[in-house]
Structure 1
Amino acid sequence: MGTQVSNDDLKNAYSKPPVDNRTEEEKAIDAWLPITSSRNAKWWYSAFHNVTAMVGAGVLSLPYAMSQLGWGPGVAVMVISWIITLYTLWQMVEMHEMVPGKRFDRYHELGQHAFGEKLGLWIVVPQQLVVEIGVDIVYMVTGGRSLKKFHDLVACQDKCKQIKLTYFIMIFASVHFVLSHLPNFNSISGVSLAAAVMSLSYSTIAWGASVDKGVTPDVQYGYRSTTTAGKVFGFFGALGDVAFAYAGHNVVLEIQATIPSTPEKPSKIPMWRGVIVAYIVVALCYFPVAFIGFWMFGNTVDDNILITLNKPIWLIAMANMFVVIHVIGSYQIYAMPVFDMMETVLVKKLRFKPTWYLRFFTRNVYVAFTMFVGMTFPFFGGLLGFFGGFAFAPTTYFVRGFWLLHKIDFHLYLFKEKQITLIINISFVQLPCIMWLAIYKPRKFSLSWFTNWICIILGVLLMIIAPIGGLRQIIMNAKTYKFYS
């Protein structure tokens, strides 16, 4: 596997920590920033933070994805994704303290360690921002649609004038104009715990209500589309839906940063314990919803299974409200690292004072931005497929691999094509896998080496084809869509 850090080295590093050369001002800034301001989290914080980060809008689209994939490919993709993402998440947990005496509290800090101060930022930060902002935009749409469904079931039931989805997205966003001012991860732990409980609850309702409703008469399990192009592009988009459902790796280091670490009990021990519990919950949520939902409704299921279910009304209404509560917590989990980035730049680079009104302004602007984009493009299924393939495949499936590109990088330098090398670094080596391989360097043709290449091939294909399906669905929806309807 390569050179590993021994336990003795780790203990010596902790017993003789590096000298803190920060000024009092720098210490005060770090104590103010969201990621580094609190380190007293317990292992169960890791559990429900990871459940909240992973189980969300994506689980509701899994029966729809199954209808695009079919039984065989669908089951295979679901199971393989669960295994790969658990393994890659383990790698992220290990990399948090891979250097004795040092913690990589933020994703970009790990990137800078692997690639260098400047290049590490260019490789990691754009990709991470696409993922986290993309999730929050999708959750704006999900929260608004679930609120609208709740309203229509409880207060309307087709007997009153329909209210625009835009207004429900604004109502959902109003909650975040308040919650976004909680200072750090530990301060949103109560919101995250409630969100994690809600995820298990509405997932259970989704498949339980499906069983209660029974198999749809004349159910069909063939592909949804009747045309070859529709089948192919639908298959592509479904892969993006699954990738979106298994997202969550982008906030792993930041979550682990809130856990205390000692020589006897480094942070990776409680963090991994929480991850295992989280992945058990993920399995209990994902597999029943995906398989039972497709079994009951076949290829007529909607891109959000709760939209397909209409009875019993009180149960489906409650499930939609559970979704709202859950995505409130999920939004905050993904927004916190973005807040940290914005505030770091403003305070450390632009020399603004770390005040409450600076935080008030920046966080409100962010919430308003995600609300505006969500209101403008509320294409739920297409957004899942597009963001899932474009952003989540690199950061979730690729924590292993790309050894060859690492070699190509040096060969290009032999030809003095630095411009081409930069393009390759920005376009392809924007994958956190190289962070692992640059340090541990698995032996060629070893099990680890082969595992890397399998993940590379699967991930590259997913990154290329999934956005195509998602983008096609967005274009098709846009033909008949009226802005802010």
Structure 2
Amino acid sequence: MATQADHSPGNQNNGRSTTNERRANYNDWLPVTASREAKWWYSAFHNVTAMVGAGVLGLPFAMSQLGWGAGLVAIVVSWAITLYSLWQLVELHEAVPGKRFDRYPELGEEAFGRKYGYWLIMPQQMLVQVASDIVYNVTGAKSLKKTIELLFPHIHHIRQTYYIIFFAALQVVLSQSPNFNSLKGVSLLAAIMSFSYSMIAFVASIVKGTHYHSSSHGVRSHTTAGIVFDALNGMGTIAFAFAGHSVVLEIQATIPSTSEVPSKKPMWKGVIVAYIIVILCYLSVAISGFWAFGHLVEDDVLISLQRPSWLIAAANFMVFIHVIGSYQVFAMPVFDQIESCLVKNLNFTPSTMLRFVARTIYVALVCFVAVCVPFFGGLLGFFGGLVFTSISYFMPCIMWLVMKRPKPWSFHWLASWVSIISIIVGVLIALFAPIGGARQIILQAKTYKLFS
């Protein structure tokens, strides 16, 4: 079993053999490395669950902010770049013979040094995980509320806050799953739901468009400032849609690895299947939603769809089921980080009670933020641009260049130079996209009453 990097500088020289033994014991308890029995198809549906989430429902809205040409180019280019950067992470998982980098911060330590690597990567990854869970909490609540109101029109007075709290209560229960592999059933169901509601959104938008086809497919704003800010938010929304990289190493850590069959082979097989499903869902929803509603499309395309009510209710309920699973996939590395800190650095004894208390507090904090800032579209753009571009777009490329040092004019040398372009684009998005998302939140906040 691979050893895990110790992030406490004071422990580095204290009894190396004892420390290594304790690390192994910790790995047997921590949720990411407790079980290494996953199959390649686990990788497929874990990645689909992580990728095809709330972001796909915001793609028609992003198209309305960017327009046909820029919107489609942004989606396709993002898909290609993130597929390559995901491949880099899969390859780097066992870049050092006899060692596995089971967590993103561990790879950061190898690439940038133990002193700076951990603190460079860990905060970014944790912000991605927590931001995703906040958005999923909001999305799950809105989708369940929409389902109830479509099926029972007389029940419309229940505040969204109560739905957010109900969603969080479900997560408290599911959060007690001991490790990543124990989520395989939940993740598989979530992956099926994500593909299903994407196809319902696609078909329903096509049907809607044939009866009411929007004649306006320009961008939403009419002022220069509005167009610029909307474009930034749209790019951030698309970046959010490719957020699965933050859990790739943790997913691969659950797959067994031998010299004959290293973990990267089954992992990559699952990734390919997942990415085919991803581009199918993304393009179909983005194109059909924008085609049907034009610049009037809502930030969640299912909100724009009203008929047939039973079908849209079913789609919204599928979203609700899906984000329940997605929440857990993104929360598991957070749980791993929290429990690792409590046990290693604060010397707590590993126990079921420790796990229950720590995870419940995390779910409660996420719920509180979701109640205070329940703005789906703005959250996508803000968080997507703030940290998702770094984790998914250019950080894997930088690590590859530092660790692999490809030979000049080789395939990967050329591909790395292409990656440098993605680095530049990613930095620009990371710097400016949150501005568009923040503006979207501010505009929506003007009409929002806290805890309503």
Regarding TM over 0.5, the answer is yes
Cα shift at 1:464: 1.5
Specify which of 388, 399, 423 is matched with residue 435 of structure 1. 399
Distance in 1, Cα, partners of 2:282 & 2:170: 27
Instruction: Establish whether residue 457 from structure 1 lines up as the match of residue 442 from structure 2.
Output: no
Specify which of 182, 202, 210 is matched with residue 197 of structure 2. 202
Q: TM-score, normalised by structure 2?
A: 0.93
Cα shift at 1:350: 0.7
Distance in 2, Cα, partners of 1:143 & 1:246: 19
Cα shift at 1:448: 3.2
C-alpha distance 252-217 of structure 1, shift in aligned 2 (>3 A): closer
Deviations 1:220-275 (A, max 9, x none): 01111122211111111000000001110010000000000011100000000000
Instruction: Establish whether residue 179 from structure 1 lines up as the match of residue 174 from structure 2.
Output: yes
Specify which of 281, 299, 302 is matched with residue 303 of structure 1. 299
**Greater Rg, structure 1 or structure 2?**
1
Partner of 2:31: 34
Residue 233 of structure 1 contacts residue 469 of structure 1 at CA under 8 Å; is this kept in 2?
Answer: yes
Residue 36 of structure 2 contacts residue 254 of structure 2 at CA under 8 Å; is this kept in 1?
Answer: yes
Residue 64 of structure 1 contacts residue 294 of structure 1 at CA under 8 Å; is this kept in 2?
Answer: yes
Distance in 2, Cα, partners of 1:23 & 1:291: 53
Partner of 1:369: 365
Secondary structure in structure 2 of the residue aligned to 1:117: coil
5 Å matches for 1:148-167?
Answer: 148-156=145-153, 159-167=154-162
C-alpha distance 479-440 of structure 1, shift in aligned 2 (>3 A): same
Amino acid at match of 2:428: L
Secondary structure in structure 2 of the residue aligned to 1:104: coil
Instruction: Establish whether residue 394 from structure 1 lines up as the match of residue 374 from structure 2.
Output: no
Partner of 1:223: 219
Instruction: Establish whether residue 118 from structure 1 lines up as the match of residue 115 from structure 2.
Output: yes
Specify which of 219, 225, 250 is matched with residue 254 of structure 1. 250
- Greater alpha carbon shift after TM alignment, 328-337 vs 472-481: 472-481
Cα shift at 1:49: 0.3
Cα shift at 1:284: 1.7
Cα shift at 1:377: 0.3
Cα shift at 1:76: 0.7
Specify which of 217, 233, 237 is matched with residue 237 of structure 1. 233
Deviations 1:272-294 (A, max 9, x none): 00000000110121110001111
Specify which of 267, 273, 286 is matched with residue 277 of structure 1. 273
C-alpha distance 23-130 of structure 1, shift in aligned 2 (>3 A): closer
Amino acid at match of 2:271: V
Q: TM-score, normalised by structure 1?
A: 0.87
Residue 169 of structure 1 contacts residue 375 of structure 1 at CA under 8 Å; is this kept in 2?
Answer: yes
Cα shift at 1:214: 2.3
Partner of 1:9: none
Distance in 1, Cα, partners of 2:23 & 2:104: 20
Specify which of 184, 187, 209 is matched with residue 189 of structure 1. 184
Distance in 1, Cα, partners of 2:336 & 2:365: 17
Secondary structure in structure 2 of the residue aligned to 1:212: helix
5 Å matches for 1:403-442?
Answer: 431-442=395-406
Cα shift at 1:27: 3.2
Distance in 2, Cα, partners of 1:454 & 1:126: 24
Secondary structure in structure 1 of the residue aligned to 2:216: coil
Amino acid at match of 2:398: I
Partner of 1:316: 312
Residue 397 of structure 2 contacts residue 416 of structure 2 at CA under 8 Å; is this kept in 1?
Answer: no
Secondary structure in structure 1 of the residue aligned to 2:121: helix
- Greater alpha carbon shift after TM alignment, 377-386 vs 209-218: 209-218
Partner of 2:10: none
Instruction: Establish whether residue 138 from structure 1 lines up as the match of residue 131 from structure 2.
Output: no
Distance in 2, Cα, partners of 1:337 & 1:449: 28
Distance in 2, Cα, partners of 1:447 & 1:70: 31
Residue 383 of structure 1 contacts residue 474 of structure 1 at CA under 8 Å; is this kept in 2?
Answer: yes
Cα shift at 1:161: 4.5
**Aligned alpha-carbon RMSD (Å):** 1.5
Specify which of 432, 435, 441 is matched with residue 468 of structure 1. 435
Cα shift at 1:28: 2.8
Instruction: Establish whether residue 212 from structure 1 lines up as the match of residue 179 from structure 2.
Output: no
C-alpha distance 218-326 of structure 1, shift in aligned 2 (>3 A): closer
Cα shift at 1:450: 2.3
Cα shift at 1:185: 0.7
Give the total of aligned pairs: 433
Partner of 1:69: 66
Deviations 1:190-239 (A, max 9, x none): 00000000000000000101112224355201111122211111111000
Cα shift at 1:440: 1.4
Residue 140 of structure 1 contacts residue 169 of structure 1 at CA under 8 Å; is this kept in 2?
Answer: yes
Distance in 2, Cα, partners of 1:225 & 1:386: 18
Residue 124 of structure 1 contacts residue 432 of structure 1 at CA under 8 Å; is this kept in 2?
Answer: no
Distance in 1, Cα, partners of 2:139 & 2:41: 27
Deviations 1:7-63 (A, max 9, x none): xxxxxxxxxxxx986565443322111011100000000000000011100000001
Secondary structure in structure 2 of the residue aligned to 1:118: coil
Residue 89 of structure 2 contacts residue 396 of structure 2 at CA under 8 Å; is this kept in 1?
Answer: no
Amino acid at match of 2:176: H
Specify which of 343, 348, 351 is matched with residue 347 of structure 1. 343
Partner of 1:405: none
Amino acid at match of 1:483: L
Specify which of 36, 43, 46 is matched with residue 46 of structure 1. 43
Instruction: Establish whether residue 381 from structure 1 lines up as the match of residue 377 from structure 2.
Output: yes
Amino acid at match of 1:69: L
Instruction: List gaps (5 residues or longer) in structure 2.
Output: 1-15
C-alpha distance 260-98 of structure 1, shift in aligned 2 (>3 A): same
Residue 88 of structure 2 contacts residue 396 of structure 2 at CA under 8 Å; is this kept in 1?
Answer: no
Distance in 2, Cα, partners of 1:361 & 1:262: 36
Amino acid at match of 2:276: I
Distance in 2, Cα, partners of 1:228 & 1:24: 61
